[in-house]
Chains A and B, each alone.
Chain A
Amino acid sequence: MKNNELIDFSIWIKSNGLNSVIPTDLETLKKLSVLDLTKQKLRELPSSIGSLENLTVLKISGNRLKKLPDSICNLKNLRNLQCENNLLEELPKEFGLLDSLLVLNLNGNHLRELPKSFCKLTKLTRLTIAANLLQEIDDEFKNLNKLLYLSLDTNDLKQLPDVFGKMKALYYLDLSYNKLTTIPDSISQIDELETLLLEGNHISNLPSLESHDMLIKLNLNNNELWELDFDLSKLEDLQILTLDNNQLESLPQSLCKLKKLRHLSTAGNLLINLPECIGELENLIELDVEDNLLHSLPASFVNLTNLKVLYIDGNNGVQKPEIKSLEYCDVE
């Protein structure tokens, strides 16, 4: 039976003109570990692909696939599946049988939901399902507790269940461009989080992020924040903070305690002034306060001796400061 399927797969390779990039002899196919079908204009995959039982890496990104054959779930040794930029509307019901998967990329498809079995992929360390049409995430998603990298950005999520409590090793979390109004409390339990991207949601009330003392990058652009009412100074490793296009009228003094901060961006807010202590940000390299309501910069600004890039245009006549390190300013 397996041999017949291998023969079928070999025929499929030839009939799609892929025999210059993929071997067709049965012995090689049987042992095949990596199959790269990226950008081959494929509209479907044959059921016989399920006979490649030694496959560990399958790359099918950049095709026109609307579905995957059920037999793909037979690839029990598959560790890495790259299926970005296709037209998938659903995954096979038994997708969770691919329980050796460590890396899964489903970015840029048309998935509205994930099958129940998806949460059996408990070995996953890297999961990206950005730019789909997901409307909800199952509670059982919490079982994916070996994740190091998770991207759910650009979906249609309005809320998330508390699934992050056991994802202790997660260092990268991207929830940008959804319709979230709040984020689950369990995010505060992600001990190792270094990057948190929440851009482009409808968040007006941010829970305290004080527990994230390992956070390096925090992006809250394009939300509905009026204030930051937690102690920013607890984010002692923070290097990049972006708060563009919110409704902030002021920045907290605790911001000045972020000694490692290198990039700060608050463009498109309603800031009337910057904290007097801003000069304490001794490692700041780039500052973007374009399109606010500033009249001037605080006196301590001249103490930003590492500042190289400054955007101040679109305010109320703010002038370029005299700082020797400055290499670019959008106002002359």
Chain B
Amino acid sequence: MEDVGNKIICDCGQKTINEAVQIFSQTDLPYKKAKKLVTECNKTCCRRPLMRLFDMIKFGEVDYEEIDFLIEQRKIKDMEMENEE
């Protein structure tokens, strides 16, 4: 899963999945605050992959494949919505 771990999880902040894992693992802040440490912004961007990753770290183990799927799915949806607009 090393390759997937090196994937950028969100354009905001440009952090990889592995970096996000590290940040979430080292903080006791709730999601909405911890998320800012990863994305370095106040937007609600990349919510599904980030929130899922946060939950995995706090309550279970990281499923890199699922996070990868959620990142890709978001990209596809963003493209589709852009095309419609």
Within 8 A of B (CB), among A53-111: 62, 85, 108, 110
Question: Which B residues lie within 8 Å of A108 (CB)?
Answer: 48, 70, 73
A177 to B84, CA, bound (A): 17
Note all chain A residues with C-beta closer than 8 A to B33. Answer: 311
Q: Is B80 an interface residue, CB under 8 A from the partner?
A: yes
Are A245 and B76 in touch, CB under 8 angstroms? no
Are A131 and B80 interface neighbours, CB within 8 A?
no
Of the candidates B42, B48, B66, B84, which one forms a contact with A131 in the assembled complex, judged by CB atoms under 8 Å apart?
Answer: B48
- Give B1-27 as 1s and 0s: 1 = Cβ < 8 Å from A's Cβ atoms: 000000000000000000000000000
Question: Is the CB of A50 closer than 8 A to any CB of chain B?
Answer: no
- Which residues of B come within 8 Å of A, CB atoms? 32-33, 42, 44, 47-48, 65-66, 69-70, 73, 76-77, 80-81, 84
User: Bound complex: CA of A268 vs CA of B76, how far in Å?
Assistant: 30
Known: A110-B77, A131-B48, A156-B81. A268 touches B70 (CB 8 A): no
Of the residues A85, A156, A200, A291, contact of B44 by C-beta under 8 Å: A200
Q: List 18 A-B contacts (CB under 8 A).
A: A39-B66, A62-B66, A85-B69, A85-B70, A85-B73, A108-B48, A108-B70, A131-B48, A131-B73, A133-B80, A156-B84, A177-B47, A200-B44, A222-B44, A244-B32, A245-B42, A291-B42, A311-B33
Identify which of residues 276-302 in chain A touch chain B, using a CB-to-CB cut-off of 8 Å: 291
* Minimum C-beta distance from A174 to chain B (A): 13
A154 interface residue (CB < 8 Å to B): yes
Residue-wise interface mask of A (146-168) relative to B, using a CB-CB cutoff of 8 A (1 in contact, 0 not): 00000000101000000000000
A108 to B49 Cα, complex, angstroms = 11
A210 to B81, CA, bound (A): 35
Closest B residue by C-beta to A62: B66
Interface residues of A in 104-122 (CB under 8 A from B): 108, 110
CB of B75, distance to nearest CB on chain A (Å): 12
Give the interface SS of chain A, mostly helix, strand, loop or mixed. Answer: loop
**Smallest beta-carbon distance B32→chain A, Å:** 8
User: CB-CB < 8 A to A39: which residues of B?
Assistant: 65-66
Q: With the chains together, A311 CA to B42 CA distance in Å? A: 15
Q: Which residues of B contact A200 (CB under 8 A)?
A: 44
Q: Which residues of B contact A291 (CB under 8 A)?
A: 42
Residues of A within 8 Å of B44, CB to CB, are 177, 199-200, 221-222
A265 and B38 CA atoms in complex are apart in Å by 21
Question: Cβ of B80: which chain A residues have Cβ within 8 Å of it?
Answer: 110, 133
Of A154, A221, A222, A268, the contact of B48 (CB 8 Å cutoff): A154
**Assembled-state Cα–Cα distance A156/B81 (Å):** 8
**Residues on the B chain within 8 Å of A154, using CB:** 47-48
Instruction: Give the docked Cα–Cα distance between A177 and B45 (Å).
Output: 11
Bound-state CA distance A48–B48 (Å) is 34
Compute how far the CA of A131 lies from the CA of B69 in the bound complex, rounded to whole angstroms. Answer: 13
Task: Report B49 CB to chain A, min CB distance, Å.
Answer: 11
CB < 8 Å: which of A85, A133, A177, A244 contacts B66? Answer: A85
B76 contact set on A, CB distance < 8 A: 110
Pick the most buried of A108, A110, A268: most chain B CB atoms within 10 A of its CB. A108
List the A side residues contacting B77 at CB < 8 Å: 110, 131, 133
Q: Mark A201-244, 1 if CB is under 8 A from B, else 0.
A: 00000000000000000000110000000000000000000001
B73 vs chain A, min Cβ distance (A): 6
- Inter-subunit contact B42/A268 (CB<8 Å): yes
Q: What is the distance, in angstroms, from B20's C-beta to the closest C-beta of chain A?
A: 19
The reply to whether A133 and B42 contact each other, CB–CB distance below 8 Å, is: no
Q: Decide if B70 touches A133 in the complex (CB within 8 Å).
A: no
Inside 8 A of B81's CB, which chain A residues have their CB?
Answer: 133, 156
Besides A110-B76, A131-B77, 5 more A-B contacts (Cβ < 8 Å) are A85-B69, A85-B70, A85-B73, A131-B73, A154-B48
